[in-house]
Structure formats: C-alpha cells, structure tokens
Structure 1
Amino acid sequence: MEAYFNELSLHSFTDNETAKNAFLLLGNCLKKLSEMGVSNTRMTDEATRKGILSGQTLNRVLNNEAVIDKDLKSVIINRMCTLEPIDDLENKYNVTGFQYNGEDCKGLGWACEDIEDSVALGLSLEDIWTDRNYNVNIYMLDEDGEEVSSVSQCKHVVTPNGIENLRDFFQTKINIPTNGSVLAIETVSLFPHLIFAGQALEQLKNIKDAVAVEQIYYRLRDLERVAANSIVPISTSIFKYKTTPESETRSRLPEMFVKFEDGETRHCSWHSRFIPGAGRIHFYYDESEKIFYVGYIGEKL
C-alpha cells in the first residue's frame, strides 16, 4: 500500500525554525505510516519545485541542515518518491484531473476513495490542512470518451495521532486479497449475504490485477453492507459506490439473465462499477430475503 503527498499543503515558511518543526512532524508521520504497512508516500514532481523558504525549493530545503538534519533527510528520501509516471495512472483510470476548491490536487486525487482508496499525507496548516476527510472533484472519461465528474472523499492526515485513528482502515487494507482466485475462495466467509453464480466466480478467479481485485472487494463489501442491514428498497442512494440499473434497452440483453446453482435464472440488470477500465458487477437483489445474487464480474457487457 502507498500513500500520496498533498502538494497543496506545501507552503512558504517565515523562518528556519518554523519549517524545521513542520518537517519533524512530517518525518514522524512517515515513520507512523511505515508502522501501518505503508511502504511509500508518493508526491508529484511539481511538489519538489515549490518554494518553501526564501529562495529555496523543497529539493534545496532537503540539503539545509538548519531545517532537516541527516537522519530526517534519510527518512524523507527513503519513504517519499515521485508520483511519476503520471501518464500510467491517468491511462489506468481514464482520469483527466482532480480539483479541491478549484485547485489541481494530484495527491488528494490519487488517494481518494474512488481511485486508490489510500490516505493523503500533508503538512499541518491550522484551519486549512488537518486530520480529516476532504471532498475531491474527479474528472475522467467514461467508456464513450465523454468527460464526467464526480466527488469522492479523501482521508487526510497531518499527525501521527491522525494516522493512529485510521489503524482499523490500514489493517483492513493489509488483509484485502490481491488476487481474484483468493477472493473467490473467500467469498462465502467475507460476504454471507451474497450468492454468486458459477460463472461470476470463474470470472473473478481470472482477474489478476491487484487494483481491480481491491476495487471489486470494496464493491462486494458495499453490497454486503446493504443486505446485512436489511436496507430496502433498492435505489442508487443506498450504495456507497456508483451503482445503477441498466437502461430499459440494455436490461433486455440475454447476458442480464443469469442461471444460478439453485437452477433459477435471475435478472441481473443492476450493476456496480469498478475501475480500472469499465468494470461491472451485475446482480439481482432479493429484497424479501435480503440477499444479493451476483451474476457477472468483468468488463462492461
């Protein structure tokens, strides 16, 4: 798992002492993240060129021993690395940009729940950058090449205490299967209110991309949450992730009618979306039994 550095939190400091205290706190956060299993904190190339002190960019401040001593410099260099190549991430998710309060925000964007579902690490700035969630605007291309926008929350931390408060989240991330075959085996124990068609389990077993498997895991967990809490009737508003019914025309496609192991054929016209690509989890929700029947997992039909 990797975290992402919030480049918007980089700001100018009035003196060496103030900057020193800020970077000491950053170093303690990097150590705490490592304790939680976060191997790297990625940042943009632009961040390294931002002015921190008069006439000094971040790269120059790293060599200013009045601000960052050798031990802290080693921690920062070893735990933080650049976000490049950014094009690879953009191609994977079809993302065209992220914004917070009208400003571009790559770090917050990549960390948000609907993309990498990680955490963003920033420098503390009172009343502006604190330990809390921030809403990020995501701009991306849909499967038809049209730009669409959505809003997603980003977990943001600036102190070791803020990181500690997310311990359960980090523990969950560590335990998420990263291979479709493993997730398929664990579906019964992980999702007791979900019943999978044979074809859906086979499709899941063939998914090797760890990012896609993680995305599928979270969508299935969302279905489990709805059923376990007996939330009815079905509607787009009861789901955490984008989940909608097919159009009337597409709902009549033969692929929407899936035969399950009990011999019943069910109309799996609702779907939850996942990325990278145009991933779909098609299902039928039995509202009386509070059971989701998952009929298909894969690319858009």
Structure 2
Amino acid sequence: MTVLLFFNELSATVEAPQHRTDHVMAEFVDLLRAIRGWRGDIALVTAVELKSMELAPGYSVQQWIAASGANRDRWRLIRALQNRAPYRSVLAEEADANVEYRYGDRLAEGIGAAHLSDGLAVSLTYDTVWDRTSLDVRRKMLVEDDSGEVSLREDTVEVRHAAAPGHAVVHKEWVQETGRDGLVSGDAIWESRTYFFPHLCFLPRVERDLRELRQDWVRPVASALLKLERSISEWSANSAALPQWQTYVSQEFEGRERLCRFVDLDGLTRVFEWHARFTPGAGRLHFRLVAEDRTARIAYIGLKLGI
C-alpha cells in the first residue's frame, strides 16, 4: 500500500530571496529521500501542479529547476513521487462539501487531506511554524446522529507532519509499518476481502459498492472493515452475546428497517439492521450478525440509505 505524503500548500506562501528558496527546496528533497529510504512505495500528493507553482513571490518552480543541475535532479525525484500518487486532487469533490480543515485562520487543504487519508503532511521550512512533527488543526464536519439530525461538529485533530529529515525520524516506524494491507482502492478491498476479513462475509452486491467507492472513502471504509473484523474475530472466540465493538456501531431504527432489506446468500430477503459509520459525509456500512458461525455478513457500503 502506497504511503501518501500530502504537500502543505500553506508552507509555500512566504516571501524569500532566491538563495533561501534554494536551501529550503534542498532540505525538502532531503526529507523526501529520507522517507523513501525507509519505504520505496511513497507518493507525493499536491493540491496544484507543482511545476506551475511559485515557491516564493516571483520565483516559480520552473525557474528553480532551471537554476542549476542539482535542482533538476531534485525535481526529477519530486516528479517521480508525484507520478506515484493514486489520485491528483488532495480531496475529492464530495469531501469538500462535508469537511473543512483550518490551520490558524487559513484553509488547510493539504494538511486536511493528510488527516482524512491517514497520511503525512510535508512542508517547506520557510517559516518556523512548520518546525514540528505534528500539527493541531481545526476541523468542521457535517455529522448526522441516529435520529437523522444533521449538525456541524467542530473539533481539533492532530496531523502527522514533517518539514525536515529530523522530523521524519519521529514517524519512521509509522512509515515502515503503515499501509502494508494494500487497501488503496475499492477494487483492492474487494479483491483481498478473503485474506484480510476472514470473519466478514460480503454479499455479491457489495462488489459494485466497493468498485465504485469514492476515493476519499477508501481508507475510512478499509479502517471500518478492519475494526469490524477485529470485533467479530474476538466475538468468535468468546461466549458474549454481542461483539465488543471497536468502531462506532448501532442498530437501525425500527421505522427505517424497510430500507435495510437485502437478498441474502440463500435467496431470502433479510434485514441487515446493524451499521457502522464512516466519514466524510453520511457513510454507512450495513451488516447482520450470523450467530451460528460467529461472523458478520456485509450487505451495503455507501451513502446512508434513504437520502
């Protein structure tokens, strides 16, 4: 599974002389090289095409590349990591309507995407504000409770961050271990379901749900499934009446059960009354517990039913 680095566009909005920019960019590439030394499958995701961006007012990336042969070599590394990115936009259009991240009073698209995708935000070192290994970011998100009421939730989240090789060392273990499951797309989740989710059974209709899954939902869905798998695997090993949930799970209200009816593996239509949630937006994962073999049967993954 590719380790995703998200470029913090806020770190490039500083006036600086050319020699300062050259130093900052050299340090940035040293950061990327250090991380690539721990994992070969890293990718750099940016909100804009870097080659068209200004590194400082009046000094574009193209000018920086042309300034020296060393810079051209550095650019080749940056470009190679950009080309490995599984998608080009840091946040899917659907996510923009449901969640907003701010650092201070500024919108923080790259930092927010790093949090949403469980990645690492990377910055240029123009400003000492980026001299840290994590960032506290304000998040606003539309959430829906069990009664269907939608409200705006505001909280502070911590995001992994690095702007220099020394910062990256703090995240070395995470870089080395994260993403080994290979779940970078809905296709990958479906095709590896037997291996990663032995205690979960998927109805055939779920294949389409996963193969058409929004990109910003891939990791939240993978995370929800992994937590559900752990819950069910522990349930299968004890005599408890219900699993001890490791993610937020609830039963559908009686009046909405008609929306949760799906044709089961034996051809009978049943209510899949349990659901786990995922964000951004009103994401739902519907399933039912199969007590006889201590498994969970997944029937639906997508937007909340009935909306």
Does residue 117 (structure 1) correspond to residue 121 (structure 2)? The answer is no
Distance 1:31 1:209 in 2: 34
List alignment gaps of at least 5 residues for structure 1: none
Contact 2:46 / 2:90 at 8 angstroms: preserved in 1? Answer: no
Q: More displaced, 207-216 or 217-226?
A: 207-216
1:290 Cα shift? Answer: 7.1
Q: Which residue of 2 aligns with 1:223?
A: 228
Output the CA distance in 1 between the equivalents of 2:264 and 2:132: 50
Aligned to 2:104: 101
- Structure 2, unpaired ranges of 5+: none
CA drift of 1:28 comes to 2.0
* Alignment of 1:154 onto 2:162: no
Does the aligned pair in 2 maintain the 1:139–1:150 contact within 8 Å?
yes
Percent of residue pairs identical: 15
One of 39, 46, 49 as aligned partner of 1:42: 46
State the Cα distance separating 1:219 from its structure 2 match: 1.6
Residue 283 of structure 1: aligned partner: 287
Matches within 5 A, 1:67-216: 69-76=71-78, 79=81, 89-91=92-94, 94-95=97-98, 97-112=100-115, 114=116, 116-124=117-125, 126=128, 128-132=130-134, 134-139=136-141, 148-149=152-153, 153-160=158-165, 161-162=168-169, 164-172=172-180, 175-176=182-183, 178-180=185-187, 183-194=189-200, 196=201, 199=203, 201-205=204-208, 207-209=210-212, 211=215, 212-216=217-221
How far apart, in 1, do the equivalents of 2:43 and 2:259 lie?
Answer: 45
**Aligned equivalents of 2:230 and 2:81: distance in 1?**
35
Give the Cα–Cα distance (whole angstroms) in 2 for the partners of residues 26 and 137 of structure 1.
Answer: 27
TM-score using structure 2 length: 0.66
Indicate how the Cα distance of structure 1 residues 123 and 145 shifts in structure 2: closer, same or farther if over 3 A, else same: farther
- Bigger CA drift: 71-80 or 260-269? 260-269
Say if 1:122 and 1:129, in contact at 8 Å, map to a contact too: no
Provide the rounded CA distance (Å) in 1 between the counterparts of 2:220 and 2:206.
Answer: 15
| TM-score where L is the length of structure 1 | 0.67
State the distance in 1 between where 2:263 and 2:231 align. Answer: 22
2:106 maps to amino acid: E
Give the counterpart of 2:8 among 6, 9, 16. 6
Structure 1 position 295, deviation (Å): 3.4
1:205–1:254 CA distance, 2 compared to 1 (3 A): closer
User: d(CA) in 1 for partners of 2:291 and 2:137?
Assistant: 32
